[in-house]
Structures are given as C-alpha cells and as structure tokens.
Amino acid sequence: MGTPEFAVPSLEALASAGHEILLAVTQPDRPVGRRAALTPPPVKLAAQALDIPVFQHERIRRREPREFLAAFSPDLFVTAAFGQILSPRLLAIPRLGTVNVHASLLPKYRGPAPINWAIVNGEKTSGITTMFSDEGIDTGKTLLRAETSIGQDENAVELTRRLAQLGAGLLVQTLEKLEGGCLAPQAQNEEEMSYFPMLKREDGALDFSTSCEMVYNRVRGLNPWPGTFASTAYGQMKIYAAKKRPELSGEKGKVLRAFPKEGLIIACGSGAIEITEMQLPGGKRLQAAEFLRGRPILAGEVFIKA
C-alpha cells in the first residue's frame, strides 16, 4: 500500500527480493495541472510495469474494499506513504501484521510529513524506521532504523529521493529478519515523541523577522508543496529557491542588494536571504536576474511587508 514516488522503490525492492505481491493498493487517479488531466499515482504505474494487479479506492476502511482485501488472505500488509489510515479491522486481516516504512527516526516526527518538518526545523539527521502498525499514528513497535545526515542545502525533494532508496533497502532487510525469526519489535519511548501535522498552504508563509537560517530552512523544506511565499511591495511573491547570507545584515524586510549580477538580497531578523527564483501574481516564474532586469529596486527599499 503506497501512493507517491517515495513508495515506488519499496515496491520494486519487494518484487526484486522475490516476495509474492498479491496486490498493489493505492489512491485513486487525481486531476493534475491547469488542465486537470486525470493522472495515476506513481505506485500504480510502477505496479503495472511489474505486472502486479492494482486496487484503488478512496476509502479502504469501508466494508466493501475491506472484504475485497480480506479475500486474498495475505500474510502481510506493507505500507509506505499510502495516505490513508488503516482501521483496526484492516490491521487484523494480514496473518503477520502490517509493516510500515516511515521516513523519520521514530518516535521523533510522527505524522504525515516528517521529511518536510525535519528540514523546516533545521534537523541535521533524518532516517527511516520500519515498524509494525497499530491503531495509533506511527505509534507501533519499531523494527529496524537507518540514519542519514541531511545536507545543509538539501531540499525536501532531494531528501525524499534518498530516503525512498534507504527505506526500500531497510524494508527488505526487515522482512528477511522477521522471516528468520531474529528481529524483536521494540516499544517506542513516548517521552521522546514528537508529532507534526499535515502540511497546509499557510505553512508556506515566510517570516523575515526570524533568522535567515529559519527562512532558508522553510524554503527548502516546503519545496515543492505547499511552497513558500511572502507579502512584498509588488504583491504576494512565491519564493521557489533562495540562499542564506548570514554574513550580511540590515533592517528586516529591507533590500540590501538588487542588481542582476548580485541578486536580490533581503535582510532578516539576523542575516539575510538571497531570493534566487520567484514569481509574482499573474507573472512567470523567474530567476532573480530576469526579475531584476525589469524592475529597478533600490537598496534600502522596504521589500517584505509585515
């Protein structure tokens, strides 16, 4: 059970390891882009390429899909970024339980967006935890963990890609050890628990009164969704990419430099941010040099509004 690109390496690794995959369960096709073209989720495409039957349902907790899955009498469910919570009745179906591939070092960063929040919060390390799912959200007993450093300029897309591969390998190891009877599930330490919610569009609002480090982490952590934005003298600007400039300083929100060859640099509460890719309402997505060629912006000008 999985939906986005993150889950594809796990599916492929299970197939390569020789496990009998009865069914790939994923979310329904969704409209994508301005034309709202109905688009299958990545796991569906990967499963079809492997000749694995696919089952899609908006709510697998309902009786009809639950009975359909139970008819397969599976030994095991495997979940990876599926996007739906399994009910106790679903969890009771597989003989050996449900193994989940979670993109954090549990019990830290429970919840649906652990990769994004880890970057936003300036974490230096992340990783994968395999676990048995229970009725809670990421609260089940853990199986194996694999840790990795987060690059200081790594964004959520890049880290997701790396963790997906790490998770696929760890999943195969987990099933091998479970099959061999040499893996003891461990209860999580609730005192070390942290939970972060699903991302919302308003999470993308940037606060330039904070440090350049905090602004930069939010830009790279919320790429590509929900994206980040700031209210500027030219309207609400989407900010797709930036660089932190801790060596510079000035009054928060004011322009420090604004030349095509030097970039657009805005002061923060401490340090500064160089905005390298942006978009204004009704405009095109532009690199800073292109943006500045069409707009004479002066140093000392108030660019970011409170």
pLDDT tens-place string over residues 159-200 = 999 999 999 999 999 999 999 999 999 999 999 999 999 999
Residue 149 or 223, more confident: 149
Taking the C-alpha atoms of residue 260 and residue 286, their distance in angstroms, rounded to an integer, is 12
**Structural contact between residues 279 and 237, judged by C-beta atoms closer than 8 angstroms:** yes
Closest CA relative to residue 157, chosen from 100, 222, 205: 222
Distance, CA of 78 to CA of 25 (rounded, Å): 10
Are the beta carbons of 104 and 112 closer than 8 angstroms? Answer: no
The whole model's pTM is what?
Answer: 0.96
The size of the chain, in residues, is: 306
- Kindly report, residue by residue over 252-290, the tens digit of the pLDDT: 999 999 999 889 999 999 999 999 999 999 999 999 999
Per-residue pLDDT at 207 exceeds 80 = yes
Tell me the per-residue pLDDT of 106-136, one tens digit each, with 9 for 90 and over.
Answer: 999 999 999 999 999 999 999 999 999 999 9
Contact of 161 with 81, CB cutoff 8 Å: no
CATH superfamily of 5-192: Formyl transferase, N-terminal domain (3.40.50.170)
Judge whether 99 and 132 are in contact, CB under 8 Å. Answer: yes
Question: Exposed, middle or buried: residue 249 (CB in 10 Å: 0-12, 13-18, 19+)?
Answer: middle
E strands, the chain, in order? 24-26, 30-32, 37-39, 54-56, 77-79, 98-102, 125-132, 142-149, 228-232, 235-245, 255-259, 263-267, 272-279, 286-287
CATH 3.40.50.170 residue window(s) in the chain: 5-192
Helices and strands of the chain, counted as H and E runs: 8, 14
* Alpha-carbon distances of 273 from 27, 240, 260, 279, rounded to whole Å: 38, 13, 15, 16
- Please state, for a pLDDT cut of 90, what percent of the chain lies above it: 94
* CA separation for the pair 8, 286 (Å, rounded): 32
* Residue 306: pLDDT over 80: no
Beta strands in 194-271 (DSSP E): 228-232, 235-245, 255-259, 263-267
Domain with CATH 3.10.25.10 in the chain: 201-293
CATH code for 201-293? Answer: 3.10.25.10
